[in-house]
Amino acid sequence: MKAGKRAGAQGDQPFQPLYRILLEVPRTDRLRLIPLRKLVSGRAFGNGPMLRMSDGRFQRGDGRLIDALFESTRQWTVSFHFNKGLAGAPADALSATRDTPMNPAVLNAFALAIIAGEGAPAFPGMSGHEPDEAKGRRYAARIAQAAQTLRTVVPDAGTYLSESNFFEANWQRANWGSNYAPLVAVKRKYDPDGLFFVHHGVNSDAWSADGFLRVKDANS
């Protein structure tokens, strides 16, 4: 379900029953019907998707989510992916997810919000295909503003790692939450020399951004 940009007719078809229900609700109450225990909110990534999850309990009649969502869409398209939150999932599904290193915030998230920009492939030095840095910065600023508006109601959101923010400052907590410390212990045991490196991967802060220079002791 998207706010700020409609999907095509075929894409909308599965949601028609939901639309009919929502249309019967007064406009100011729409989306307040959802029993929100956790909210997933987006963060700015520039030219890539950003996904956020966070605690945020909302009761019927509380308009904070609606107001934040509307204000976010004044800057950029916001889409809620209800298939990527586990609130209300069967007990066996929740149990299986707890046995993974994914941020535990997903267990109570009702949806995942994406606020993202994209463009054609860019190649520095290739005529006609150079990156438009000015445009990229403008887009990034608007995406950041939209994401920040959502974060006013979900300030401690977590992240869906596969679509996380390249520039996330607190990526350890955002990506894995309470699972990060055990993951670091495993990393140090089986890969103490940092042979396997990825940007914002487990213990990657022990290395330079390109992964070639150790910047702190592996056990620090």
Q: Spell out the domain ranges in the chain.
A: 2-168, 178-220
Q: Taking a C-beta distance cutoff of 8 angstroms, is the pair 106, 160 a contact?
A: yes
Give the CA dihedral 149, 154, 155, 160, nearest 10 degrees: -100
Residue 203 has pLDDT above 60, yes or no: yes
pLDDT digits (tens, 9 = 90+) for 30-76: 443 333 323 333 333 332 223 334 434 455 556 788 888 899 999 99
Structure tokens given for 171: 């990526």
pLDDT digits (tens, 9 = 90+) for 83-128: 888 888 899 999 999 999 988 888 888 888 888 888 888 888 888 8
pLDDT digits (tens, 9 = 90+) for 181-192: 999 999 999 999
Average pLDDT, the chain: 75
Interhelix angle 64-73/133-151, nearest 10 degrees: 170
pLDDT digits (tens, 9 = 90+) for 155-182: 777 878 887 878 788 899 888 999 999 9
Per-residue model confidence (pLDDT) at position 24? 60
What backbone phi and psi angles, to 5 degrees, belong to 28? -70, -15
Look up residue 115 and give its DSSP letter: -
Question: E strand or H helix at 81, and its extent?
Answer: strand 78-81
First CA to last CA distance, the chain: 44
Q: pTM of the full predicted structure? A: 0.67
HSE on the CB side for 86, CA within 13 Å?
17
